[in-house]
């Protein structure tokens, strides 16, 4: 059985995330979406509370007929979490699964800064997805497989900024359900 781990802040989850999930549905038996509490390499904590990000993820994937699970394990850790610890957790939860890890081009550029990055590379297959604004080469020893015919440049940070300054943002790059949820819950400064 093949399992893919797709982690991130999902703050908010957008159409780029959905396209990655749909692409992963083609070749994997199970997809684990793992919202993070705080990325060790990011200075800012997520703007939306964990409960909102989980609900938005549920709204994002509604209608997909795949084995997709939103796992809040990282959100429930009392200390900073590292991807390698998440992988160890999944290995215990799914001992008969081959685990792959989805990593975006922005994170691939700094993969060498991840804690235990060499252990991660020797433990899981890395699945990369690209953005047009990045030109990333894998670090030495990385078994990197790019998602074929995938190149999307959507940023949660930019979406949040557009909502906050209300630059005539109409919810593009979000599913209608996620955009409605943001509006109804006044997230990211929406009023």
C-alpha 40/C-alpha 42 separation (Å) is 6
pLDDT at 76 over 80: yes
Q: Which residues contact 80 (CB under 8 A, 6 or more apart)?
A: 38, 40
Q: Which residue has the higher pLDDT, 117 or 140?
A: 117
State the CB neighbour count (10 A cutoff) for residue 12: 28
- Looking at residues 147-162, what average pLDDT do you find? 80
Question: According to the model, what pLDDT value does residue 65 have?
Answer: 79
What pLDDT band is residue 149 in, cutting at 50, 70 and 90? low
C-alpha 128/C-alpha 57 separation (Å) is 21
Please, what is the Cα angle at 164 between 160 and 165, to 5 degrees?
Answer: 120
Nearest to 7 by CA among 81, 115, 97: 81
- Looking at residues 8-28, what average pLDDT do you find? 92
- Residue 102: which H helix or E strand, with range? strand 98-104
Question: According to the model, what pLDDT value does residue 125 have?
Answer: 94
Superfamily for domain range 2-152: HUPs (3.40.50.620)
Q: Which residue has the higher pLDDT, 87 or 166?
A: 87
Question: According to the model, what pLDDT value does residue 69 have?
Answer: 96
């Amino acid at each position: 059985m093949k399992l893919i781990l797709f982690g991130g802040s999902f703050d908010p989850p957008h159409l780029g995330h959905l396209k990655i999930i749909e692409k992963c549905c083609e070749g994997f038996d199970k997809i684990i979406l793992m919202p993070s509490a705080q990325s060790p390499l990011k200075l800012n904590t997520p703007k939306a509370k964990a409960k909102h990000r989980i609900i938005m993820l549920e709204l994002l994937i509604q209608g997909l007929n795949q084995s997709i699970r939103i796992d809040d394990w990282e959100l429930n850790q009392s200390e900073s979490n590292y991807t390698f610890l998440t992988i160890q957790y999944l290995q215990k939860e799914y001992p008969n699964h081959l685990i792959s890890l989805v990593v975006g081009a922005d994170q691939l550029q700094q993969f060498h800064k991840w804690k235990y990055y060499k252990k991660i590379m020797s433990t899981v297959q890395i699945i990369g997805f690209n953005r047009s604004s990045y030109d990333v080469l894998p670090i030495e020893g990385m078994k990197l497989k790019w998602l074929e015919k995938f190149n999307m440049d959507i940023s949660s940070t930019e979406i949040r900024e557009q909502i906050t300054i209300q630059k005539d943002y109409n919810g593009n790059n979000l599913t209608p359900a996620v955009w409605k949820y943001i509006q109804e819950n006044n997230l990211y400064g929406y009023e």
